[in-house]
Structure 1
Amino acid sequence: MRLRQQGIGLIELLVVLAILGILASVLLPGYQDHVLKSYRAEAMQALLKVAGLQEMLLVDQQRYSADLTELGFAAKQFVTESGRYKISAVVTEQGYQLRAQAQQAQAEDKSCQVFLLNNYGQKSSEPASVCWSY
C-alpha cells in the first residue's frame, strides 16, 4: 500500500514565491505612483482654501497678506495635514501668488514638485504644467 503525499513540496512553494515576487515587482511601482498622484489633491485643496481666505481679507481690509497667520493659520507658512506640502504666499502690488512645495515622501513625485495659484485664479505647476488637470 502506497501512502499518498500530503502538503506542498519545496518546488511548488518556490514557484509560488517566484510568481508573487514577479507580481510585486510589476504592480508596486504603479501603486506607488498612484499614491503620489492622489496626494496632489491635498496641495490643490490647500491652495484653494488659502486663496479663499485671501479674498476674504481683501474684502475686509482691502489688502492681501503674505503672513498666513493673518488668515488663521498657526505660522507664516504652514505644512499640510499629511506633511507632504509646505504652503507659502508672496504678495506683490499686483496681487498674490500661493505656492505648495512638495516635501518628505511627496518629493518623490518628480513631475509635480510645485503647485502655484495666483489672485487671478491662474494655476500652474513645476516642472510639468499638467498637474492641476489630474
Structure 2
Amino acid sequence: MKSNKGFSLIELMIAVAIIGILASVAYPSYVQYVAKGARADGLAALLEVANLQEQYYLDNRVYATDMTQLGLASDPYVVENGFYSVDSTGTGSFVAIATALGAQASRDTSCTSIQITDTGVRTPQECWE
C-alpha cells in the first residue's frame, strides 16, 4: 500500500476559502482602526493649535490669522504623519479646522473636516470620541 503525504487540492481550496472569509471580516475593522489612529494625530494637532491661539491671544489681545504667527512651520500646518492639515482663522475669535489629506480622506469619510472654536465647541462630535 502506498502512503500519501500532503494535502489534496480540495483540502487546500477549503483552507484558502476559510482564510478569505476571515480576511473579509477582519479587513474593514483594520481599516477603521488605522483611520481612528490617524485621526488621533489630527485631534492632537487641533488641541495644540487651540492652545497656541490662546497663548497668542494673551500676548496680543487678538487671535492669530496665520499659523506661522503661532510658531508653526507652515500655513496650513500639516501634522507629522501627513494625514491632516490644520488651519486657523481669527482676530476676535478663532476656528481651527483639521482637514483630512490623501488616504485618510477616503478611509475616514465621516471625519474629513474636524473643528474646534475658541469657546471649546468641537464638531462633529462623533469624531472627538
Using structure 1 for the length normalisation, give the TM-score. Answer: 0.89
Q: Which amino acid aligns with 2:35?
A: L
Matched ranges for 1:19-30 at <5 A: 19-30=18-29
User: What is the distance in 2 between the residues matched to 1:76 and 1:112?
Assistant: 21
Q: Which amino acid aligns with 1:104?
A: G
User: What is the distance in 1 between the residues matched to 2:65 and 2:98?
Assistant: 14
**Structure with greater helix percent:** 2
Matched-pair identity in %:
39
State how many pairs are aligned. 128
User: What is the distance in 2 between the residues matched to 1:75 and 1:66?
Assistant: 13
Q: Which runs of 5+ in 1 are unaligned?
A: none
User: In structure 2, what is the equivalent of residue 71 of structure 1?
Assistant: 70
User: What is the distance in 2 between the residues matched to 1:130 and 1:39?
Assistant: 15
Higher relative CO (Cα under 8 Å, sequence separation at least 6) belongs to: 2
User: What is the distance in 1 between the residues matched to 2:75 and 2:30?
Assistant: 34
**One of 92, 100, 103 as aligned partner of 1:102:** 100
Q: Which runs of 5+ in 2 are unaligned?
A: none
Secondary structure in 1 aligned to 2:63?
coil
Q: Which amino acid aligns with 1:87?
A: V
User: In structure 2, what is the equivalent of residue 42 of structure 1?
Assistant: 41
1:115 deviates by 0.7
User: What is the distance in 2 between the residues matched to 1:38 and 1:77?
Assistant: 21
Structure 1 ranges of 4+ moved more than 3 A: none
Q: Which amino acid aligns with 1:131?
A: C
User: What is the distance in 1 between the residues matched to 2:51 and 2:38?
Assistant: 21
Using structure 2 for the length normalisation, give the TM-score. Answer: 0.92
Q: Could you list the per-position Cα deviations for residues 69-88 of structure 1 after superposition, in whole angstroms to 9, with x for gaps in the alignment?
A: 11111112111111111100
User: In structure 1, what is the equivalent of residue 83 of structure 2?
Assistant: 84
Q: Is the 8 A contact 1:66 1:88 kept in 2?
A: no
User: In structure 2, what is the equivalent of residue 122 of structure 1?
Assistant: 121
